[in-house]
């Protein structure tokens, strides 16, 4: 599905694009609890940067969130938190080009403090804000998998 989305955006897919997308999917651990369906980001201009997101959970439930922030990335992550009930603090944030050209794939990497523990996420997209949102959702997924694993080991569910 992500391959088709990138192909639709770019029109032409290179071997480097395929390698980046495959590598991106292979870095995930198991099925994702959340999927980013839609994002809208306003970088500010006359007002505060703002964002709205729609996220689908593993059961198909839709969650919407909106937020303002210090910048577009901060607003985006706050909107995700509002949508899915998470609370993360961004510790590290890095964006880089994975492929070349004006329609290059960008990769975002985040390291977050979620619930007093450190989690990382990574995402790839032609839109670096979308890549950032995917990376943050993956960090939240990692935190929830760890939390669930701890409950199972302790005899809970």
What is the 3 state secondary structure string of 1-46?
CHHHHHHHHHCCCCHHHHHHHHHHHHCCCCCCCEEEEEEEEECCCC
CA distance 77 to 25: 21
3-state secondary structure of 95: strand
pTM here is: 0.79
- The pLDDT tens digits along the chain (157 residues) read 455 565 555 556 555 555 555 555 555 555 667 899 999 999 878 889 999 999 999 899 999 999 999 999 999 999 999 999 999 999 999 999 987 777 788 899 999 999 999 999 999 988 999 999 999 999 999 898 887 665 433 344 4
**Is there a contact between 131 and 124 (Cβ–Cβ < 8 Å)?**
yes
**Is there a contact between 65 and 84 (Cβ–Cβ < 8 Å)?**
yes
Domains of the chain, CATH where assigned: 2-153 (3.30.160.270)
Which tokens belong to 114? Answer: 């979620």
């Amino acid at each position: 599905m992500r391959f088709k989305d990138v192909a639709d955006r770019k029109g032409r897919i290179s071997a480097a694009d395929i390698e980046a997308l495959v590598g991106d999917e292979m870095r995930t651990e198991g099925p994702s609890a959340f999927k980013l369906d839609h994002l809208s980001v306003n970088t500010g201009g006359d007002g505060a940067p703002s964002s709205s997101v729609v996220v689908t959970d593993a059961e198909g439930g839709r969650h919407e969130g909106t937020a303002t922030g210090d910048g577009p990335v901060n607003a985006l992550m706050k909107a995700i938190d509002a949508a899915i009930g998470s609370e993360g603090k961004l510790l590290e944030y890095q964006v880089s080009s994975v492929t070349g050209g004006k329609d290059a794939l960008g990769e975002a990497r985040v390291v977050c403090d979620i619930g007093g523990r450190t989690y990382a996420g990574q995402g790839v997209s032609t839109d670096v804000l979308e890549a950032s949102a995917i990376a943050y959702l993956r960090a939240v997924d990692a935190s929830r998998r760890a939390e669930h694993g701890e409950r199972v080991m302790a005899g809970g569910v």
